């Protein structure tokens, strides 16, 4: 289905699935957060190198770098952050089996399943083995 005016395809988030989905283009796993969903889209778009930026996944410096959300947006709790960490870390092995390399350029990240490095180091690593970089 496409929007007639703009030609935009909607993305469906399967709220019952906390895994990277690849079998139906445009349907992604929830993971509970937009970072996970962006990773899922990148895989569906064919990316084989993903650099995580801003995936701190902790509240040591406050809720967000920009402060709390206003209005109807929910703010993360320690419970939700722990859940998100677990869901994202659990995808490391399935992603590896799919041929996707994930590098964590958030050196203060609480994620543990992906190699941590600076952004410059991650870019250099991707340039060494480019395949399909996103």
Which tens digits make up the pLDDT trace of 70-106?
Answer: 888 888 888 989 999 999 999 999 999 999 999 999 9
Condensed to tens digits (0 to 9), the pLDDT of residues 42-77 reads 999 999 999 999 999 988 766 766 677 888 888 888
Model's pTM, two decimal places?
Answer: 0.86
Do strands 12-14 and 49-52 pair parallel, antiparallel, or not at all (unpaired)?
unpaired
Nearest to 33 by CA among 96, 86, 110, 104: 86
Interior angle at CA 11, CA 68 and CA 84, nearest 5: 45
With 0-12 / 13-18 / 19 or more C-beta atoms within 10 angstroms meaning exposed / middle / buried, residue 2 is: exposed
């Amino acid at each position: 289905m496409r929007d007639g005016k703009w030609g935009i395809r909607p993305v469906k988030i399967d709220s019952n699935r906390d895994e990277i989905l690849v079998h139906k283009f445009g349907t992604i796993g929830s993971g509970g957060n937009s970072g996970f969903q962006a990773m899922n889209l990148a895989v569906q778009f064919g990316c084989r190198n993903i650099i995580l930026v801003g995936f701190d996944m902790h509240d040591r410096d406050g809720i967000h770098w920009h402060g709390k959300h206003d209005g109807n947006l929910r703010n993360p709790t320690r419970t939700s952050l722990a859940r998100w960490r677990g869901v994202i870390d659990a995808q490391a092995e399935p992603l590896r089996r799919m041929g996707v390399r994930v590098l964590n350029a958030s050196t203060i990240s609480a994620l543990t399943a992906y190699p941590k490095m600076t952004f410059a180091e991650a870019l250099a690593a991707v340039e060494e083995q480019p395949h399909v970089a996103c």
